[in-house]
Amino acid sequence: MASLELFKGDFELTRLVILSPKPLANKGIHRDHMEAGPHQQIIQTPLVTLTLRGMLFLLVALNLTIIGASRIDGDLIALGTAGLLLGLMVIIFGKWNLRDIHLNLSAPSRVFAETPFDLRLTQLNKRSLFDAWSTNLELNLSHAPKIKTHVTWTAAGSSSSSKLRGRIPKRGALSKHPCTLSSTFPLGLFRFLKKITLKHEILVFPKPLLPKEFFANGEFDDAWDGIGFQSSDAPGEPRGLRQYQAGDRAKLIHWPATIRSQARGRSPRVREYDPPGLRPHHTVVIFHSFGTDHTLIRTDLFERSLSLACGTLRHLRGIGVSANLRADFLAWKNQKTFHAEAWSDTLTLLAQAKRANHTEAHDVLAEIEATPAEDAIIIISDMPLESWKHIIPERRVLIIDIQQHRFGQRDLNFKSAQEKPLKNFATGNPSPTHPQ
């Protein structure tokens, strides 16, 4: 699997032509764009259906022919026959209009779930003599809303491109992308349709989700024993926004707020942080999902937990804290996340993760006890704390209880296991919110 090129604490979405003849794993990824290769597509048999206009037109033509024949009226017969012949010519030209039309798609090869991204859909007219007129393109990316565009005209031997925005709501690996090519040219009497399947792999990472409480009360700093720590140059917890001042770094500019501020004739806005604080040298993120083959499993909780793990690891990289991921779906293997190549591998594993079966409480206990005292511990679970709270040793940990989250309101509780009784996790009050 090709590694990603990362920058600015994250990764760069590498753009490529989606219709490629080889799997992505066999291709070297360029920092900019990959060159277009021969496209692969599966084209079904074209379909022809009547529009309302066409139905009325043919009905009138057929009635004229029948009435003319019954009355032996040559004019009516000629008029009705001419209408039927016109309908036949429309079918011939309409099918020809979609003949030798191919599609190319340019898009990122790696994206985060629910994150909009740019893509380009290109229509290629392979004919040497006849132009293509009034075509409609409809692309379906997994469970996302269909992406539609209209191409008015494509000259013979040329192409027409449309820049669009896409969004994929669910993580995973996508390989087939249904696309529909249709047209009502000419005259709008018939609808001509081709169903095309474009082949290419797109890897979708979990949506990075980090609760506001992670920033709010400094509980990450309190969730470790303070043996191994560092004074980092990374900024502390965010305070909010303020006006731009001379000497502020450009990367601190908050662009959405700046655009709104300048629209009102005010100065740009920048992020303001607390002074850098102490951070542990290393953090271990433990992910587990208790369950057996006979347990009713809520898929939405597992997916939300993966999003929290992705967001947490991403944030730790951003503040300069090295972290390892230990998860049941990785058989508790230590997965490094700090360096670019390791982060790329971690995102791929999160995108392809499947819930483990037969995970027991003592597995989590073993991972906690095996963690050095100088390392901070963050536990992410998709199961109620009542089922495993009794196994937590006398050690400070930061626990994310997915069951305390009211979906859509982001009010997860973060607690220190040593400072506050675990029974408070099941009924505890939400932490105070903090503006982002």
Span 42-86, pLDDT tens digits: 666 678 999 999 999 999 999 999 999 999 889 999 999 999 999
Compute the distance between CA of residue 409 and CA of residue 212 in angstroms, rounded to an integer. Answer: 10
Residue 247 included in any domain: yes
User: End of a domain among 159, 183, 204?
Assistant: 204
Domain's final residue, options 97, 123, 158: 97
In a domain, 38, yes or no: yes
What's the average model confidence in pLDDT over 215-238?
A: 56
Which one of 72, 97, 122 terminates a domain? Answer: 97
Compare 235 and 366 and report the one with higher pLDDT: 366
- What pLDDT, on the 0 to 100 scale, is given for residue 84? 94
Domain-embedded: residue 395: yes
The rounded Cα 310 to chain-centroid distance in angstroms is 13
> Are residues 294 and 194 part of one domain?
no
Judge if 390 and 257 occupy the same domain.
no
**Residue 434 in domain:** no
- The answer to whether residues 262 and 173 belong to one domain is no
Q: Are both 269 and 410 inside the same structural domain?
A: no
- For residue 83, being part of any structural domain is answered with yes
Domain extent for 408: 213-237+278-427
pLDDT computed for residue 244 by the predictor? 85
Token readout for 349 is: 């594993």
- Cβ partners under 8 Å of residue 343, min gap 6: 4, 6, 11, 313, 317, 337
> What integer is the mean pLDDT of 104-127?
92
pLDDT digits (tens, 9 = 90+) for 377-435: 888 887 766 766 677 777 778 887 676 555 444 333 333 333 333 333 333 333 333 33
More confident residue, 163 or 435: 163
In this prediction, residue 424 carries a pLDDT of: 31
Segment holding 416, helix H or strand E: strand 414-416
Q: Is residue 386 part of a domain?
A: yes
412 and 363 within one domain: yes
Looking at the fold, whether 28 and 127 belong to one and the same domain comes out as yes
Whole-structure pTM value? 0.70
Query: In whole angstroms, what is the distance from residue 178 CA to residue 82 CA?
Result: 39
Residues 251 and 296 in one domain: no
Rounded to whole angstroms, how far apart are CA atoms 263 and 252?
19
Judge whether 433 lies within some domain. no
Reported as a single tens digit per residue, the pLDDT across 271-292 is: 876 555 567 788 999 998 865 5
Closest CA to 392 of 409, 369, 415, 425: 369
Query: pLDDT digits over 5-16, tens only?
Result: 333 334 333 333
- Same-domain pairing of 164 and 217: no
Give the pLDDT score at 218: 57
Q: Please indicate, yes or no, whether residues 183 and 309 belong to a single structural domain of this protein.
A: no
Q: Assess whether 91 and 108 both reside in one domain.
A: no
How many domains does the chain divide into? 4
Whether 358 is covered by a domain: the verdict is: yes
Pair (173, 314) in one structural domain: no
CA quadruple 144, 197, 190, 137: dihedral sign: positive
Are residue 322 and residue 386 in the same domain, yes or no?
Answer: yes
Distance CA 350, CA 67 (A): 70
Mean of pLDDT over the chain: 76
pLDDT confidence of residue 342: 95
Nearest Cα to 189, choosing from 264, 87, 106, 287? Answer: 87
